[in-house]
């Protein structure tokens, strides 16, 4: 165990070496054009337009016809989720999708919150904007930008939104009441995909900052997971003044000497399994999408069942790595099939799996530590929620290297990668805790 702790510390120090710039610098707030053709000379239409999710008989008929042509491959005996999505369980998912799932009903659920679109840097940017139904007298809501990642969508936030915008109705204190803005990353869901190469997290951060400015917010809170955490980090690096950023015995003694807590050791040990093997098992998709996303994307965009297997496998092992030991991947232990398939349908009906995967190539295709923002620290009040089943645990000492003004670090009781989708109440409580601390700064 000593050797593994030393390796963990070496990894931490390597991270520190890469991001050790102490200078408070900011990313330039530039401009861009990601629409087709050349940027027009006329000023961009900055109007905000209501949007509604819709479907049709033709869309549903085409989906059913493609599902009916699904060709299953039998799994290896006893393989469970070790080889990826178990095709025996996939048959159950497909049967439910074809015979019980009601997309029209889910469209109505999607439309329960107000949707909008606005043109920014040549792209139609989709977002939902949910205001509190009631406010205590003399109070104003706190604006909160929440950003999803891959393979998620704005729908991940549907269960946490009421806990933030209407806490009293849900048995929570109304000390902090939020209005929540959840945009779709360009090329995801209902946000238009870039026509040009290069739209990365920094460009997306700039677009989302412009969105918040267009909505009239000069200072606001931000929260994100997966790509959302990087996008929010870039916003904080871009406009730091406008942002609050929301992301055994001998061995234990040695670990504390290195700055690790007993909880850190529990989440990192055994290092070979919890870090090395876990990253190796769960990063194959990343290599594909960071190099040749369009190739696999063509297949996924043509097959709804293939798309579902590819995405839902992440909602199994990224929720809890031990779920790979189960025949059904543990999918329904934390999520309903209705919710999981609604997220799949957002990708399927918009045809955005290819453009969503390209985000990996734009951010990682040139290598690691080649972009300016990767070596920059974040000097805004920051909170970090450490969910125990996340793919890689980040001890507080690691997080502080990048975020020196870390004011809240929470070991969460349970939960994995899709925090807002999986454990909305826990995340809502931690957001409220962070805001209370941030207001004291």
> What CA–CA distance (Å, rounded) separates 7 from 271?
8
Q: Is 279 within 8 Å of 287 (Cβ atoms)? A: no
| Residue 432: both structure tokens together | 């409220």
> What CA–CA distance (Å, rounded) separates 397 from 394?
8
- How far from each other are the two terminal CA atoms of the chain, in whole angstroms? 39
Kindly list the catalytic residues.
Answer: 226, 360, 417
What residues does 116 pair with on adjacent strands? 50, 127
Q: How many CB atoms lie within 10 A of CB 2?
A: 10
3-state SS assignment for residue 352: coil
DSSP letter, residue 80 = T
Helices 57-68 and 103-110, interaxial angle, to 10°?
130
| Residue 63: both structure tokens together | 């989906």
> What CA–CA distance (Å, rounded) separates 150 from 249?
39
Q: Is 154 within 8 Å of 116 (Cβ atoms)? A: no
3-state SS assignment for residue 365: coil
- Pick the closest to residue 188 from 111, 127, 232 (CA basis): 127
Task: Give me the numbers of helices (H) and strands (E) for the chain, helices first please.
Answer: 20, 9
- Interior CA angle at 247 toward 376 and 29, to 5°? 40
């Amino acid at each position: 165990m000593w050797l593994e702790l030393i390796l963990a510390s070496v990894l931490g120090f390597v991270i520190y070496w890469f991001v050790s710039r102490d200078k408070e610098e900011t990313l330039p707030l530039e401009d861009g054009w990601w629409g087709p053709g050349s940027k027009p000379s006329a000023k961009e239409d900055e109007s905000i337009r209501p949007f509604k999710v819709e479907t049709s008989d033709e869309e549903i008929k085409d989906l059913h016809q493609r599902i009916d042509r699904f060709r299953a491959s039998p799994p290896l005996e006893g393989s469970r989720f070790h080889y990826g999505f178990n095709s025996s369980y996939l048959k159950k998912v497909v049967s439910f999708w074809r015979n019980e799932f009601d997309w029209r009903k889910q469209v109505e659920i999607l439309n329960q919150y107000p949707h909008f679109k606005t043109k920014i840097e040549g792209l139609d940017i989709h977002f939902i904007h949910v205001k509190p139904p009631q406010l205590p007298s003399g109070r104003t809501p706190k604006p909160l930008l929440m950003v999803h990642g891959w393979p998620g969508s704005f729908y991940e936030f549907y269960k946490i939104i009421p806990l933030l915008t209407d806490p009293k109705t849900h048995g929570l204190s109304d000390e902090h009441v939020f209005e929540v803005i959840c945009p779709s990353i360009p090329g995801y869901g209902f946000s238009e995909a870039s026509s040009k190469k290069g739209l990365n997290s920094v460009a997306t951060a700039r677009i989302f900052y412009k969105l918040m400015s267009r909505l009239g917010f000069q200072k606001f809170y931000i929260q994100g997971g997966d790509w959302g955490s990087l996008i929010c980090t870039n916003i904080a690096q871009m406009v730091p003044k406008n942002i609050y950023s929301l992301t055994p015995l001998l061995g234990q003694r040695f670990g504390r000497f290195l700055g690790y807590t007993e909880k850190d050791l529990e989440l990192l040990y055994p290092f070979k399994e919890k870090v090395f093997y876990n990253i190796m098992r769960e990063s194959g998709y990343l290599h594909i999408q960071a190099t040749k996303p369009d190739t696999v994307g063509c297949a996924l965009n043509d097959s709804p069942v293939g798309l579902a297997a590819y995405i839902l496998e992440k909602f199994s092992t990224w929720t809890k790595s031990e779920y790979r030991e189960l025949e059904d991947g543990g999918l329904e232990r934390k999520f309903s099939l209705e919710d999981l398939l609604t997220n799949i349908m957002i990708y399927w009906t918009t045809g955005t799996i290819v453009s969503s995967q390209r985000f990996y190539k734009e951010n990682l295709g040139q290598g690691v530590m080649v972009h300016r923002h990767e070596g920059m620290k974040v000097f805004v009040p920051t909170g970090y929620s450490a969910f125990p089943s996340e793919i890689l645990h980040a001890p507080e000492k690691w997080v502080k290297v990048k975020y020196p003004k870390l004011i809240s670090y929470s070991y969460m009781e349970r939960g994995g990668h899709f925090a807002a989708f999986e454990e909305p109440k826990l995340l809502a409580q931690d957001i409220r805790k962070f805001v209370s601390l941030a207001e004291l700064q």
